[in-house]
Each structure stands twice: as structure tokens, then as C-alpha cells.
Amino acid sequence: TITADITAMPNGSDNGDYYVNEAIVTVGDNLIYSNLVVTQVTNLFISGTVWEDEDADGMIGPVETRIPEIRVNLYQPFNNKNHNTPDATYGGTQLDRVYDTNGDLMSPVITGTDGTFSFEDVPAGTYYIVAEYIDDEYTVTRKKAGGSDPVDGARDSEAETSFVGNNEFGNIAWIRQITVSNAGVPNQNIGL
């Protein structure tokens, strides 16, 4: 007779908690223990800031206006195995809405008074951020003005382009192909 007793991550674990996996297999009268595996619970996320690039340098300045009340949606590349039609198409790219780690459809978020947005409990994968209903007065600022400098790279715009008209969400800006793997992805900023 072979039986197994396996410990796994308990429900309700919080970001930063640790858990231990261990398997104990009983073969007849003998107990065989697996190696212990210690894992830290991480909350994968994507976050950023929408701001007005008043000096047009592509970098968030300390006194530049953060833009509240911009609707930001998270999408993933369209997968026709899930359904027959994409949830959105921008610039010819077909996209699907995203489900969180609990299997719930992620709702769009509205930027706060400080212009920030955050999507929590994002499964590992590739994503697109789409900022919607942007006022006609704005265009997208210069992308990746911070270059490879890690400090400036955290303050620059990741947004690639705007699409005007002919879509139900008005003027939009997007960030394409953000890869989330084993850590959250901050600083997905959109400069307008």
C-alpha cells in the first residue's frame, strides 16, 4: 500500500508569507520524506502613473500634473481557444480581457488623484495596458526617454501611441507586451 501526505500553500496566504511543501509517502511500514521546498507568496501586479508631461521631456517631473480619472484596462493577447471574437482590437492587435489569479474578470481601474493605477493578483503572462477616454487636448509623450538608466527608467513613459476616433473608448494610449513572471512590474507610466 502506498499513501501520500502532501502539505501545500494554505488558502488566505498574504503577500510576503512563506509556506513549506513536503511530501511524505508511506510504502508498507516505511515513511519516505521528500526534500522541503520553501516558497514565498508574491503578489504579481502591474502599476504606473498617468501624468501630463508639461515640459515634453518624456520624464515625470516632481511638479508635473498627475492626471486623475483616466480609465485604464488590462488586456492579454487574443486567444481564439477561449472564444471566437476578441474583446478589443487596437491598431490591428486583437486583445482579450484578463482574469486574476482567483479566476475573476479584472475590472478597469480609474487613476486616483495622484494619477496612479494598479492591477493586483495578475497571473504570470504577457499583457497590454490601455488608457481610455483621454481628452482631445493630449497626445502621448516621448517613449522611454530614461533609456537604460534605472532611476530615469522608473520616471519615463512606456506608452507607445494614441489611436484617435473609430473606437468606443475615445482617444487611447497603450503599453504593449509587458511580461510578468516572478515579480510585480511597476513604473508602467503613461505620459501625455
Is pLDDT at 145 greater than 90 in this prediction?
yes
CA-based nearest residue to 69, from 170, 146, 179: 170
Is pLDDT at 171 greater than 90 in this prediction?
no
- Which region among 3-17, 49-63, 178-192 has the lowest average model confidence (pLDDT)? 3-17
pLDDT, tens only, 79-115: 888 778 998 888 788 999 999 888 899 999 999 999 9
Is pLDDT at 14 greater than 70 in this prediction?
no
Is pLDDT at 127 greater than 90 in this prediction?
yes
Reported confidence tier of residue 22, pLDDT bands at 50, 70, 90:
low
Cross-strand partners of 130: 73, 174
Task: Please tell me the predicted confidence (pLDDT) of residue 12.
Answer: 47
Average pLDDT over residues 49-66: 95
- Which region among 39-53, 95-109, 130-144, 159-173 has the lowest average model confidence (pLDDT)? 159-173
Average pLDDT over residues 68-89: 89
Is pLDDT at 45 greater than 90 in this prediction?
yes
The residues, ordered by sequence, that sit 6+ positions from 49 with a Cβ below 8 Å of its Cβ are 60, 66, 111, 114, 115, 116, 117, 189, 190
Q: Which long-range contacts (CB under 8 A, 24 or more apart) does 113-117 make?
A: 113/66, 113/68, 114/49, 114/66, 114/68, 115/49, 115/50, 115/51, 115/65, 115/66, 115/67, 115/68, 115/70, 116/47, 116/48, 116/49, 116/66, 117/47, 117/48, 117/49, 117/50, 117/70, 117/72
